[in-house]
Structure formats: C-alpha cells, structure tokens
C-alpha cells in the first residue's frame, strides 16, 4: 500500500463515524419538516444502504442492467442513495409518463447539479444540464428557433448526405470489387464526426469519409468524446462522494475533468474565432451553426455570448457523434444477426431509388427518400427500443416535494428513468428481447406502448429529427451500396458497454463487398 492510499484509508476510518452521524441527523430533520406529506404518501422502497456510500457499492456496470435487476426485486419505483444523494429509479412506462409527461413534468424538469457537470458544462450552463427556468428557456429557444427548424434540418441534409457518400466511397476504394473485413465503429465515428463538424463550422476532421491519415486533432476529439461520456451523467461514483473525498481525488477523476474542460474550451473558442474572421472577410459561405449564432450575436450580444455558442456546440458535438454512431453500429449488428430484415430494408431502398421494378437502381439514396422508407424507419425505431442511446436518459431532479406512483419523493431527489427496462418490459412487448422491426409498421411508437429514446416532456431532445436524418442516411447508404456478412458463423456479440450512452462492448467487425448493381454509382462518387 503506497503512502497516498494509506493516508486516504486512515482519513476514511476517522471520517466515516462522523459523517454517518451527520447523515442520520439530516434525515431526521427532513422527516420532521412535512409529516403530513409523509403520512399521505409512502416512502420510496429500496435496499438497505451503507453509511456514507449509500448504495455506491452496487454501482456495477453497465448501470442500466444493475438497476433493471434491482427493479425486479424492489418494484418499478424504488430508491437508492448515491452517497448522501437520494435517487428515485423509475422502470415502468406509467411512472415515467407521470414524472416526465404528466402531472409531475414541471416538478422533474430540473437537472441535478452534479460536480462533473459543473466542470464539463461550464457551471451547468449547457441546454442539457441547466436547471429549468428563464436561462434554460432562453438557451432552448435559441437552439430550436435558430438551429433545429425544419428549414435548418433540410439545409444540413446536404452535409449528412455528403458524408454518408464519402464513407461509401472510402469503403469502396478499400474493397474494390472484392470482399473485405472492416471494423465499423471507427468508420461510423468518422462519418458522424465529419457530419457534425460540417454543420458546426463547415470543416472535416477526416479525409473524404476516412481517406488518408487521421489527424492528431481527430484522435484528440474522439478520445475527448469517449472520456466525456464515461465521466458524465451519473455514470461515475466520483460525483456522489462526500466533498472531502472528492477533494482528495484518489482516482484522479477531478484532474481528468478539469483537463477536459480546458482543452475543450480552447478548441471550441478556436472554432468560433475562425468563423468570426471568415464573416468579417465575407467568406462565410455555407450557413453553419456557428455562423448562424454569430449572426444572432451581432444583433444582440447579450442574448448569444461566446459562452452560449460554446455550450450549444459542445452539446451538439457530444450528442450527435457518439449516440448516432452507436445507433448505426447497433442497427448493423442487429441486421447482421437477422439477414432477412437486412434484405427487406435493402429491397425497400432499391424500389424507392429505382424507376423500374426489378431494375438497377439509377441513383443513390437521398434525404428526400427517408420519409418514404417505412421499413428503414422501423429498423431504426426497433434499434432505439432495444439499445436506447441514453439508457437512463439524462438525470432529472425534483424541484418540490411530490408523489410518484403513490410514493413520497422529497425535493432535491435525483430521478433516473430506466428506458432500457421500459423498452423491454414483457408486460408491454411481445418477445421484448427480440428484434422485430415490424412492430413499428403502424407508423407510430409500436401502438400505445412507450418508446422514449429522446426523452419526453419539457426536456425532450429537440434534435430528434436531425438525429433520425443522420442515422437514416448513414444506415441506408450502407445497406444500399454493400452486401454485408458476419465474420463467422457465430452471431454478433450484442453485449453493452457502460457510460452515459450505450456503446457496444465489442466493436462491430463484418465482411462487406460492393453490390454489383452499385459498382457504377460507387465509382462516380
């Protein structure tokens, strides 16, 4: 045992009894504040907690699986203690609707002020981390009215289409007419990273769809996104340690967070300054997210500061790259394990892009085709049901005492909605663990059942249409242009990794080769 570990251990042994006593006294004071409310509603059930750490010893990853197992034992609504913080875990559609889409929507519209969020989200100033109130409404209004309108999404479709075809061109050049093995996770991250950077500042980190050398800047950005997702959103124990233990920073998490913040700020401000110089020179060119926001800033500097532009850009980069890339990777994994679904999706795309039935497709998939591709949409929706990009959504927090499913939830309680469990609830879904895209063929969310990969209520993700467009073009282009096969006879490993999002534990590898009917089109892009 080294000296630092020994000191930390001795400190903990001295600190535990004192903190346990303080925690007990705080609970007693809180329980006496509103006895009428506690008599009216039952306290949240849950497993017995340990002093100081609460249930942090149960923090087995992936966390959504652990919480699903606990829900089977303690009910669809139960409580945990992450350190001293009370957490309500909701694992049923009815309770989720009550919290986020019904009577308690406003009560749970806040975000918990996690220490990692203070560092990475500039004192909780991003749209995803800001608490409900005037500032959050202002940030969301700017995002929705300036960046997420139907016109803007249509405008960005050109960027998405360009990058999807660039990836197809790179895969074609790597394979020629032959059969090649590829690791898709990296390719998909490159695709989405270039698509997001094209939207934000009309730049690409990688060559045409991944051609050529990968720059140091690109490597850094990928590592930054992955580390951010690993350290954010109730996914790390560090957020729930007592302040004294966080200060000790035994695992170095705090130092990693501050390094991330400094490097991200420098990177983002560089993009803003570059776009500002181009605007002054009249070289604005294609409308970009930063360009749009700088135009808003020129009219009202206080309404759209550089800090706000940075927060909107980092939110878009992090959410748009990893979650969309992971969704396509999960979808391809499911299609490789279910080749009949792959064939059905391909036939639909061929029929849409061909002028003659059974004829050779005269053109590549375009964004305007997506609304006509019902089965492709079903594949994406079924993928989002089985592997939601945020399996616990982004945490919420109660701004007042309230009741959920008859249980008393005190003010300041953190809420985790286990979408992974809701999407696989056997009371809602037939064969809940099976891949059945046809269940969405009614054009809705699987009938009257709840699918909430983008959240719901006031804090629902406003970029849903944008994300579906990026995923649809990326996945659809891969299906249309290439024949895909599993690497071996075994099914693709579908184990989940851990973090704020839901990455595959084992990155997807597959064999592919250009479809003979697409060779002439691939050679021209």
First-last CA distance in the chain: 60
> Can you tell me the distance from the alpha carbon of 143 to that of 462, in angstroms, rounded to the nearest whole number?
8
Q: Which helix (H) or strand (E) holds 81?
A: strand 77-82
The structure tokens listed for 387 are: 């592997």
CB 55 within 8 A of CB 44: no
Whether the CB-CB separation of 70 and 89 falls below 8 Å is answered with yes
Q: Return phi, psi of residue 206, to 5°.
A: -105, 165
For residues 97 and 404, give the distance between their C-alpha atoms in angstroms, rounded to a whole number: 10
Sequence-ordered list of residues with C-beta below 8 angstroms from that of 300, at least 6 positions apart, any chain = none
Please give the Cα distance from 200 to 203 (Å, whole number): 8
**What gap in Å lies between CA 386 and CA 185, rounded to an integer?**
18
Longest CA pairwise span in the chain (Å):
79
Question: What's the burial of 35, exposed, middle or buried (CB within 10 Å: 0-12/13-18/19+)?
Answer: exposed
Nearest to 190 by CA among 169, 231, 176: 169
Q: Do residues 27 and 458 touch, judged by C-beta distance below 8 A?
A: no
Distance CA 433, CA 427 (A): 12
Residue 487 in contact with residue 332, Cβ under 8 Å? no
- Has 304 been labeled as part of a binding site? no
Contact yes or no for 397/414 (Cβ under 8 A) = yes
CA 388, CA 379: separation in Å to the nearest integer?
13
> Hunting for tokens 């206080």 — which residue is that?
302
**48 C-beta neighbours (distance < 10 Å), count:** 5
CB-count burial class (<10 Å; 0-12, 13-18, 19+) for 41: middle
Token duo for residue 391: 């399996």
Binding residues for heme: 461
Binding residues: 461
């Amino acid at each position: 045992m080294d000296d630092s570990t020994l000191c930390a251990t001795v400190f903990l042994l001295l600190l535990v009894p004192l903190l346990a006593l303080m925690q007990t006294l705080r609970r007693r004071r809180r329980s006496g504040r509103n006895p009428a409310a506690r008599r009216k509603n039952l306290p949240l059930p849950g497993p017995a907690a340990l002093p100081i750490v609460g249930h942090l010893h149960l923090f087995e990853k992936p966390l959504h699986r652990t919480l699903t197992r606990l829900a089977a034992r303690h009910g669809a609504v139960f409580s945990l203690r992450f350190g001293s913080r009370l957490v309500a875990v909701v694992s049923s559609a009815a309770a989720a609707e009550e919290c986020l889409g019904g009577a308690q929507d406003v009560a749970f519209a806040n975000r918990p002020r996690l220490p990692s969020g203070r560092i990475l989200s500039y004192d909780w100033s991003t749209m995803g981390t800001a608490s409900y109130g005037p500032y959050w409404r202002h940030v969301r209004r700017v995002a929705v009215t300036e960046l997420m309108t139907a016109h803007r999404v249509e405008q960005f479709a050109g960027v998405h289409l360009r990058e999807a075809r660039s990836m197809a061109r790179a895969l074609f050049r790597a394979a020629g007419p032959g059969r090649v093995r590829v690791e898709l996770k990296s390719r998909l991250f490159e695709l989405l990273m270039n698509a997001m950077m094209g939207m934000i500042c009309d730049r690409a980190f990688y060559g045409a769809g991944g051609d050529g050398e990968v720059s140091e800047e690109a490597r850094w950005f990928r590592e930054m996104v992955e580390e951010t997702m690993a350290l954010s959103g109730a996914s790390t124990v560090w957020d729930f340690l007592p302040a004294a233990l966080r200060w000790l920073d035994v695992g170095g998490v705090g130092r990693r967070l501050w390094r991330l913040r400094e490097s991200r700020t420098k990177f983002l401000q560089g993009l803003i300054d570059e776009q500002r110089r181009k605007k002054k020179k009249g070289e604005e060119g294609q409308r970009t997210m930063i360009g749009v926001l700088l135009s808003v800033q020129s009219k009202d500097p206080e309404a759209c500061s550089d800090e706000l532009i940075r927060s909107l850009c980092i939110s878009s980069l992090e959410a748009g790259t990893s979650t969309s890339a992971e969704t396509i990777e999960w979808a391809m994994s499911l299609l490789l394990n279910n080749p009949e679904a792959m064939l059905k999706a391909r036939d639909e795309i061929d029929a849409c892009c061909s002028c003659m039935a059974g004829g050779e497709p005269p053109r590549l998939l375009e964004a305007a085709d997506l609304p006509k591709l019902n089965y492709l949409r079903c594949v994406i929706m079924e993928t989002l049901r089985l592997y939601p990009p945020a399996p616990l959504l982004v945490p919420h927090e109660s701004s007042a005492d309230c009741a959920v499913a008859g249980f008393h939830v005190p003010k300041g309680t953190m809420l985790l909605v286990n979408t992974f469990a809701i999407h696989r609830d056997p009371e809602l879904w037939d064969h809940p663990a099976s891949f059945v895209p046809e269940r969405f063929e009614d054009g809705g969310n699987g009938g009257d059942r709840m699918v909430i990969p983008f959240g719901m209520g006031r804090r629902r993700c406003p970029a849903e249409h944008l994300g579906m467009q990026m995923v649809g073009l990326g996945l659809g282009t891969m299906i249309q242009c290439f024949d895909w096969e599993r690497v071996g006879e075994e099914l693709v490993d579908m184990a989940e990794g851990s973090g704020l999002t839901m990455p595959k534990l084992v990155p997807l590898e597959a064999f592919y080769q250009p479809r003979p009917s697409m060779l002439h089109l691939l050679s021209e892009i």
